Amino acid sequence: MITAGIILAEAAVMAGLNAVQTQSYGPESRGGATRAEVVIADGEIDYPKVTNADVVLVLTSEAYRRYGNKLKQGGLLVADSDLVGEVQAGPYRIVRVPITRIAREELGREIVANIVALGVLAALSQVVPMEALERAVMGRVPKGSEELNRRALRCGEAAGRQAQVKEAHEA
């Protein structure tokens, strides 16, 4: 998730915006509970942490339990529909997308779930232009995995769009 946060912030910078990315993680450098925070603005950013989030993305119930309450009124909660259990209704938008399943089944690699998530997030929130996001992804992923990650981003974007349509139907 930290990589996804970095990519999102980088995309914002590429799009001419200002961005700060911070993180917190346990003693393990991989796995374990991690949190990436990104602040994007037109102007100067003083406090670098997220206080009232416009968007919260959670892939596990544990993450939801810890960070769900960071969401502000009218914000957007994106949750993995398979891995995050019950979420509390409230004065915010909730979108559920099977992010990890898409990575596993459509792309054959669970490891790209974070890139799928970025696609979903960008499609639903428009915080950064898709073009800048794609450039940022290409700049950060290991050589040889560009095609896989490009597809992951596209799948995520499509899933985000689809969820949006479904949302409109239900409304």
Partner 1 sequence: MSQPRLMQGNEACVEGALEAGLQFFAGYPITPSTEIAEMLAERLPRAGGVFIQMEDEIASMAAVIGASLAGMRAMTATSGPGFSLKQENLGYAALTETPCVVVNVQRVGPSTGMPTSPAQGDVMQSRWGTHGDHPVVVLSPSSVMETYVLTAKAFAVADELRVPVILLTDEITGHMRERVVLPDPGTLPRPHRPLEGAAPPDIPPMVHFGEGRRVLVTGLYRDSTGFWSESPEEADRLVRRLAGKVESRQEQLTMVDRWHLDDAQVVVVAYGCVARSAQRAMRLARERGHRVGMLRLACLWPFPGHEIEALAERADRIVVPEMNLGQMVGEVERAVRGRCKVIGYSRVDTELIRPEELLPVLEGV
Q: Helix, strand, or coil here: 144? A: coil
Beta bridge partners of 79: 58, 96
Amino acid at 81: S
The residue within the footprint of partner 1, chosen from 1, 4, 9, 163 (CB under 8 A), is 9
Instruction: Find all residues with CB under 8 Å of 94, minimum gap 6, and list them.
Output: 77, 79, 87
Q: How far apart are CA 17 and CA 11, in angstroms?
A: 9
CB atoms within 10 A of CB 147: 9
Return contacts of 34-37, CB within 8 angstroms, 24+ apart.
Answer: 34/1, 34/2, 35/1, 35/63, 35/66, 35/67, 36/1, 36/2, 36/4, 36/5, 36/6, 37/5
Q: In the complex with partner 1, which residue's Cβ is closer, 89 or 142?
A: 142
Please tell me whether residue 48 binds partner 1 under the rule CB under 8 A: yes
Q: Is 23 in the site for partner 1 (CB under 8 A)?
A: yes
**Tokens describing residue 150:** 């490009």
24 near partner 1, rule: CB under 8 A: yes
Binding of residue 10 to partner 1 (CB under 8 A): yes
Q: How far is the CB of 67 from partner 1 (least distance, A)?
A: 13
Count of residues interacting with partner 1 (CB under 8 A): 23
Q: Does 99 bind partner 1 (CB under 8 A)?
A: no
Q: Does 94 bind partner 1 (CB under 8 A)?
A: no
Question: Is residue 101 a contact point for partner 1 (CB under 8 A)?
Answer: no
Q: How far is the CB of 10 from partner 1 (least distance, A)?
A: 4
Does 66 bind partner 1 (CB under 8 A)? Our answer is no
Q: Nearest distance from residue 50's CB to partner 1, in Å?
A: 11
Q: Which span sits near partner 1 by CB under 8 A: 44-52, 63-71, 86-94, 113-121?
A: 44-52
Residues that bind partner 1 (CB under 8 A): 6, 9-10, 12-13, 16-27, 45-49, 51
